[in-house]
Structure 1
Amino acid sequence: MSRTTLRICITTKDIISIEECSPRTASQKMSDMRVYFNKIEKRCKLTFREYANYTGIPIEELEPFRLPPNYKAA
């Protein structure tokens, strides 16, 4: 049985694929979330859990987006 490591940090590309929005909108949402969670500095990362709390989407529904980029399902 193999164990898959899920990514922790969310990127604008993830938001684009989750919400099917433009890159500009995804970037603006990242900025809004940084202010909301008081992570003003650029080096501060946002997690999928914070994104789930911010948007109200259950974390379980975000799992397909948390897989590593080159992951192949068996």
Structure 2
Amino acid sequence: MVWVLALFFLLLLALVIYQFISQQRFLKKKTSETMNKDLLEEVETEQEEMLRKKKIFDASMEEARKKINRDKEEL
């Protein structure tokens, strides 16, 4: 009976070691290697859209700051 438990324990230990090694290999890969090509393209498109919106937002914030400064100078 003890040998069955020892065998089961060794099997579980081998499974944990295998999972650890495969996870380490996966984590060492680049994102572009592991990600689906369509998904990677979608993420890049969303990043470009975000940058475009950020530029518009920054421009409007700068315009608002200029207006506030002009209003302060008029007072």
TM-score (ref. length: structure 1): 0.28
Structure having greater relative contact order (Cα 8 Å, sep ≥ 6): 1
Could you say which structure has the higher helix fraction? 2
